[in-house]
Amino acid sequence: MFLRSTVHRAAKSVLFNTSCLPAPTLSIRVAGLVGSQSRRITGHRIMEEKRGLSQIDDPKGIVRRKLNCHFPWGWVVYRTSYSDEEAWQKMLNYLREDVMDFLKRYKRMDLLPFHERIIMDDKAKFEGATSHDIRDHFATWVVDTVTPKLITALSESEMKQLRDPYKEDPGPEWTMGAWYNFCLFIDDICLESMEHMINPVVKMLAKNFGARRPEDRNYAVYPGWEDGETEESDEDVGWMYTWVMESVSNYDKMMETHEWYDEYRRPPGIWYSLGESDFPGHWRKCTNVK
């Protein structure tokens, strides 16, 4: 289940040749994030912005060589809040706009015909669902979706790995891009963020990180965090907040699954944030102050 400890994450980073050391930082102003506030962005993050959309179309053919059919790109999106239909539709529109904006910005409109977004919108199944509930469903969806599309059928042991949401090592889906390893889910806080934040947020969930067996899900969340049992900022709970305006950029990064190690921020933390006053959900704390 890709354990939640800092030690495990560091070990995996070495295994997949990702740096365990912090990148150098510098201060820049990011227009449009939160007014004109100065943001701290790591050096490697700036380089990622400069590279454009370099992975979405699977340039090395790693994924395409394994499939016998069209290879789409785009997020699987789960809806877990049903209290505000107008806000939900507005969020979907934000996601659509992000696709068009990024493709135009990087002159990659050739990718548009291959874009496909799967909306998981079933109130009976998903209303109030936790990250663990979403991961359970997504893991099953991946198995059902990818298996019939493979050129070479998986062996019995590979199928067992693919079906095991608690496996300790990467399964056959690890190298098959963002489509089969990550999804988005949108809850009350995400919908509220459209009103309380200049740029709204969604939650990105990793299929192979933070998985807990049903009997291990009744845990007390450590104070100050939205998920997880310890005080460690590196505890990997398997999901994080991301800006809607970065949904395409994040998809491009997550085509290489190991990028999760560098991108992860334990919630309510989020990239570009100066502090708790910028965190998603900060308005809920303000309303509770007497």
Instruction: Give domain limits for the chain.
Output: 6-287
pLDDT digits (tens, 9 = 90+) for 164-184: 989 888 899 999 999 999 999
In this predicted structure, the answer to whether residue 290 has a pLDDT above a threshold of 50 is: no
> Which of the residue ranges 22-31, 48-57, 231-240 would you say has the lowest mean pLDDT?
22-31
Report whether 246 contacts 49 (CB < 8 A).
no
Share above pLDDT 70 across residues of the chain, in percent, rounded to a whole number: 80
pLDDT tens digits, 200-211: 999 999 999 999
- Check residue 28 and give its pLDDT: 29
Q: Is the model's pLDDT at 30 over the cut of 70?
A: no
Q: What is the pLDDT of residue 7?
A: 34
Specify the pLDDT at position 71: 83
Confidence (pLDDT) at 10: 38
Residue 280: the pLDDT is: 92
Average pLDDT of the segment spanning 194-200 = 93
36 pLDDT exceeds 50? no
Per the model's pLDDT, the better-predicted residue between 278 and 204 turns out to be: 204
